[in-house]
Structure 1
Amino acid sequence: MFVPMRRSKQQLPADECAAILRGATAGVLGTAGTDGYPYAVPVSFAYVPSSEDDAAPDAVRGRIFLHCATTGHKLDALDADPHVCFTVIAQSEPVPEKLTDRFCSVIAFGTARRAEGDEKAEGLWALGTKYAPGLDAVVSDEIATTAHRTEVIAIDLESVTGKEGLELLRERGA
């Protein structure tokens, strides 16, 4: 179903993909737009691994949480087609003299849905504590006052791959 990476020697192992998803502060959500055009939007996100990650160390599982307003283009697109692509560029450093780039990135495919109840609270907590670490009371207060007017999107991950540029690969000695 998902196309294997053509340059497989540049593929990052699952644990590095998960680390990138945990540490990155922004990603790009790609959807099938409602007007026939693709729709890609930069978003803040939180990655929450599943317990399956420990059982299957060669694959990244879990969910990505996003938050947004209760109406808008993003939700319209997701309601029309819940299949999404999510991309994170963890590093990008051009190397002009070699006409290349020292990069690493992750691309994930999954199915998005509106989170409700406990899952919505989990998503808001994951987002809040990621972007405001150590401010648990502030995060709790914010969730209590804004959850009713906030939509939380949960993306169930189905395929995750990471790739690094040849320069980084060479630096690793691989």
Structure 2
Amino acid sequence: MFKAMRRKDRQLSDDESRRILEQGEYGVIGTIGANGYPCSTPLNYVLEGDNIYVHFFIKGGNIHESINVNDKVAFTYVGKTEVLEDEFVTNYESVMVFGKAEIVDDEEKRHALVLIVDKYSPNFKKQGLEHIEEDFDKACVVKIVIEHVTGKARRG
């Protein structure tokens, strides 16, 4: 179903790909919109097991509408880049995820929002939990259930 990586010498193990993904700060979710066009949106995220959680505050926006039309998504993270201009190459590490997305509610939504606070604002947990309660009804959380992960790196 998924093509094999052409540059096998740069392929990362599944464990290393997930470690890199877990440490990343933001990624890009790719969806297919109701109009048939692709849409890529950068977002903060958190990885837990075989799920990636993202959140936003616009129900009915591009991601929300796209998932209702087609739940298949791609998620990409690129990190640790270094342009080596004299060699005409770039060192990098990247992870691509393919999976199915769904809008989550109630306890899973709350759980995901707490994970996001823990990752991005660990020194402000109390305020983060208050923020979750204040905006809980406005927040939309999407879970990407990972079906395929592939990581690649050039570390010169």
With normalisation by structure 1, the TM-score equals 0.85
Shift of 1:79: 0.7
Which 5+ residue runs of structure 2 have no aligned equivalent? Answer: none
2:1 paired with 1:4: no
RMSD: 1.1
**Larger % of helix: which?**
1
Residue 42 (structure 1) aligns with: 42
In structure 1, which of residues 47, 67, 79 is the aligned counterpart of residue 55 of structure 2? 67
Q: Map residues 1-174 of structure 1 onto 2, 5 A cutoff.
A: 1-49=1-49, 62-68=50-56, 69-165=58-154, 168=155, 170=156
Where do 4+ consecutive residues of structure 1 move more than 2 Å?
none
Which 5+ residue runs of structure 1 have no aligned equivalent? Answer: 50-61
Aligned residues with identical type, % of pairs: 30
- C-alpha separation in 1, matches of 2:60 and 2:112: 18
Aligned residues: 155
- C-alpha separation in 1, matches of 2:88 and 2:20: 25
With normalisation by structure 2, the TM-score equals 0.94
Once the two structures are superposed, what CA deviation does each residue of 1:92-118 show, in whole Å capped at 9, x if it has no partner? 111111111001100000000001122
Shift of 1:36: 2.0
SS in 1 for 2:122: coil
SS in 1 for 2:132: helix
SS in 1 for 2:92: strand
